[in-house]
């Protein structure tokens, strides 16, 4: 008869054995190019934990990073990132910091405490500046908290509306942000590398270069997969790696870094430009996103409403799916994010139940058809 000690030892080992055995099932199509098992996402009404909506600050001609004199102040603008706010934040923050650093001052106000405002404030601190953030909301109540968080600058501008100067600025911001986020990859910041599977309705056009191909050096493991190389019910699938930034972890950590570096915060809502110019700081960096429409009379700025539904976290899911009929899935610690709306000039933050139904049904249908030998 086995001793109590041997039984306890066996019980301790069993979970490790079962964890090691599971990934050995299936064939190569059930694994990512990095060798991670691709598990089915469970989607049902019973698993929904919340549905939310947010507004992306969008300009057809792209974001604004520029400096201008207003009375005795220098105002540096850094806003209008569309769906690329988190992605580009450290990049446009770098561009804004370069402009601000042309002044002889070392004290500034940063307007806004979302991803762009926090990144800008931290880079100014790293340059030795005394920084105060002014914002009407702090995390977790900022627009950035509603973002998906995948590193890839999407819906930042409309083709045909941008200038060559903006395109150069955009690529520079993209490359700075791409490098900076790599320094933050860790559980502490909620940043990790992850496989993306882009589901396409048609084969890639060899004569036309898409966004990921244009910047392929920032999309590692970029490859088109055949039917026997993935588990999805789709004929045309492209794979590449990006970073996933989880706002619920990332934003509080950057805020802690800001406080640890001596930063100050004042809760304040500005009524107009004149109100902004009453601040005592000689340099004001405007990171107010949609707020810039009223504060600085930017009529090109419009909201794009995005709606997200979360189902319970599923730790076994560790990949992103994009392009499934305009839908996308990001696996986060705070839940499986299911999205797929893009409503121009819509100011309402109330989720649309018809869109919720479309998002849930579309994802459920897609993942039910996915091959998962472990299910």
Calculate what percentage of the chain has a pLDDT beyond 70.
93
The span from the CA of 286 to the CA of 117, in Å, is 8
With 80 as the cut, is the pLDDT of residue 1 above it? Answer: no
Provide the 3-class DSSP secondary structure of residue 357.
helix
With 80 as the cut, is the pLDDT of residue 225 above it? Answer: yes
Confidence of residue 25 (pLDDT cuts 50, 70, 90): low
Question: Please, is 294 exposed, middle or buried when counting C-beta atoms within 10 Å of its C-beta (0-12, 13-18, 19+)?
Answer: middle
Question: Please, is 2 exposed, middle or buried when counting C-beta atoms within 10 Å of its C-beta (0-12, 13-18, 19+)?
Answer: exposed
Which pLDDT score is estimated for 204? Answer: 83
| CATH code given to domain 35-55+197-244+305-368 | 3.30.9.10
With 90 as the cut, is the pLDDT of residue 21 above it? Answer: no
The gap from C-alpha 296 to its chain's centroid, in whole angstroms, comes to: 26
Which pLDDT score is estimated for 199? Answer: 96
Residue limits of CATH 3.40.50.720 in the chain: 57-191+246-300
Confidence of residue 185 (pLDDT cuts 50, 70, 90): very high
Confidence of residue 208 (pLDDT cuts 50, 70, 90): confident
* Nearest C-alpha neighbor of 86 from the set 126, 54, 61: 54
Which pLDDT score is estimated for 9? Answer: 39
Residues 6+ apart with CB under 8 A from 129: 100, 106, 107, 108
Report, as an integer, the average pLDDT of 286-299: 97
DSSP 151-163: SS--SSS-TTS--
Work out the mean pLDDT of the chain and round it to a whole number: 92
Which pLDDT score is estimated for 57? Answer: 97
Residue limits of CATH 3.30.9.10 in the chain: 35-55+197-244+305-368
Confidence of residue 26 (pLDDT cuts 50, 70, 90): low
Calculate what percentage of the chain has a pLDDT beyond 90.
85
Question: How is the chain split among helix, strand and coil, in percent rounded to 5?
Answer: 35, 25, 40
With 50 as the cut, is the pLDDT of residue 22 above it? Answer: no
Which pLDDT score is estimated for 24? Answer: 55
* Structure-token pair, residue 183: 């320094």
With 90 as the cut, is the pLDDT of residue 201 above it? Answer: no
Report, as an integer, the average pLDDT of 177-197: 98
- CATH homologous superfamily, domain 57-191+246-300: NAD(P)-binding Rossmann-like Domain (3.40.50.720)
The span from the CA of 236 to the CA of 227, in Å, is 8
Which pLDDT score is estimated for 85? Answer: 96
* β 130-135/191-200 pair status: unpaired
pLDDT digits (tens, 9 = 90+) for 94-110: 999 999 999 999 999 99
pLDDT digits (tens, 9 = 90+) for 120-167: 999 999 999 999 999 999 998 888 888 899 999 989 999 999 999 999
Which pLDDT score is estimated for 100? Answer: 97
Residues 6+ apart with CB under 8 A from 259: 265
**Dihedral, 204, 320, 362, 343 alpha carbons, nearest 10:** -80
The span from the CA of 283 to the CA of 261, in Å, is 19
pLDDT digits (tens, 9 = 90+) for 328-346: 999 999 999 999 999 999 9
* Structure-token pair, residue 312: 């319970």
């Amino acid at each position: 008869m086995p001793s109590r000690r041997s039984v306890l030892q066996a019980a301790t080992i069993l979970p490790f054995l079962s964890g090691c055995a599971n990934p050995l099932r299936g064939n190569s199509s059930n694994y990512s190019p990095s060798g991670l098992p691709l598990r089915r996402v469970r989607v049902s009404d019973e698993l929904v934990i919340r549905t939310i909506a947010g507004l992306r600050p969008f300009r057809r001609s792209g974001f604004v990073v520029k400096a201008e004199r207003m009375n005795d102040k220098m105002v540096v603008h850094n806003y209008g990132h569309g769906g690329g706010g988190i992605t580009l934040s450290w990049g446009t923050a770098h561009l804004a910091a370069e402009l601000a650093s042309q002044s002889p001052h070392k004290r500034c106000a940063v307007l806004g405490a979302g991803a762009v405002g926090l990144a800008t404030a931290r880079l100014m601190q790293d340059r030795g500046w005394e920084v105060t953030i002014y914002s009407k909301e702090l995390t977790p109540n900022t627009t950035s908290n509603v973002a998906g968080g995948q590193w890839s600058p999407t819906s930042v501008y409309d083709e045909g509306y941008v200038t060559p100067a903006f395109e150069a600025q955009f690529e520079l911001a993209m490359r700075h942000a791409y490098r900076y986020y790599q320094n933050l990859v860790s559980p502490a910041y909620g940043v990790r590398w992850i496989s993306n599977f882009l589901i396409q309705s048609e084969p890639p056009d060899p004569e036309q270069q898409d966004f990921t191909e244009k910047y392929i050096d920032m999309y590692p493991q970029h490859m088109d997969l055949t039917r026997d190389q993935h588990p999805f019910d789709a004929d045309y699938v492209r794979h590449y790696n990006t970073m996933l930034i989880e706002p619920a972890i990332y934003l509080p950590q950057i805020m802690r870094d800001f406080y640890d570096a001596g930063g100050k915060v004042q809760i304040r809502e500005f009524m107009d430009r004149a109100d902004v110019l009453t601040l005592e700081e000689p340099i004001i960096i405007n990171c107010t996103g949609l707020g810039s429409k009223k504060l600085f009379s930017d009529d090109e700025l419009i909201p794009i409403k995005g709606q997200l539904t979360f189902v319970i976290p599923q730790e076994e899911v560790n990949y992103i799916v994009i392009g499934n009929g305009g839908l996308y899935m990001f696996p986060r610690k705070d839940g499986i994010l299911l999205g797929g709306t893009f409503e121009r000039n819509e100011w309402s933050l109330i989720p649309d139940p018809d869109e919720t139904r479309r998002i849930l049904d579309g994802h459920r249908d897609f993942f039910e058809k996915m091959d998962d030998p472990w299910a």
